[in-house]
A and B are shown apart, each in its own frame.
Chain A
Amino acid sequence: MISILRSIWITFLHAFHKRETRGYPEKKPYLPPRYRGRIVLTRDPDGKERCVACNLCAAACPVDCIALQSTEDGDGRRYPEFFRINFSRCIYCGLCEEACPTYAIQLIPDFEMAEYDRQNLVYEKEHLLINGQGKYPGYNFYRVAGVNMGVKDTGAGENEDPPVDLKSLIH
Chain B
Amino acid sequence: MKYVFIIAGVLLIVLTIAAGLIYVERRLLALFQDRYGPNRVGPLGLLQVIADVIKIFFKEDWIPPFADKRVFIMAPGILVGSILLTFAVIPFTDTFIVLDSNIALLFFLGNSSLGVYSIVLGGWASNNKYSLLGSIRGSAQMLTYEVFMGLSLVGVVMMADSFSLREIVEAQRGGWFFLPQFVGFVIFFIAGLAETHRTPFDIPEAEGELVAGYHSEYSGMKFGMFFVGEYMGVTLISALIATLFFGGWLGPGFLPPAFWFFFKTGFFICMFILIRASLPRPRYDQLMEVGWKVLLPLVLLNILITGAVIIY
Contacts and interface: CB of A to CB of B under 8 A. Distances in A.
B278 interface: yes
Interface residues of A, number: 14
B102 interface: no
Contact of B278 (A7, A17, A18, A21): A7
Given A4-B279, A7-B279, A8-B279, A14 B32 contact: yes
Given A7-B279, A8-B279, A20 B34 contact: yes
Given A11-B274, A12-B274, A17 B279 contact: no
A49 to B, nearest CB: 43
Main secondary structure, interface of A, reads: helix
A10 interface: yes
A12 B31 CA distance: 9
Contacts of A14: 31-34
Interface residues of B, number: 11
B278 to A, nearest CB: 4
A19 B277 contact: no
A19 B275 CA distance: 20
A15 interface: yes
A19 B278 contact: no
Main secondary structure, interface of B, reads: helix
Contacts of B275: 8
B62 interface: no
B35 interface: yes
B266 to A, nearest CB: 16
Contacts of A20: 34-35
A15 B32 contact: yes
A11 B31 CA distance: 10
B259 interface: no
B32 A12 contact: yes
A10 B277 CA distance: 11
B34 A19 contact: yes
B274 A17 contact: no
Nearest to B294: A1
Interface string A125-142: 000000000000000000
A77 to B, nearest CB: 53
B35 A8 contact: no
A16 to B, nearest CB: 9
A15 B32 CA distance: 5
A19 B35 contact: yes
A17 B277 contact: no
Contacts of B274: 8, 11-12
A11 B34 contact: no
Nearest to A7: B278
A128 B12 CA distance: 59
Nearest to A18: B34
A8 B278 CA distance: 5
Interface of B: 31-36, 274-275, 277-279
6 contacts: A7-B278, A10-B278, A11-B274, A11-B277, A11-B278, A17-B34
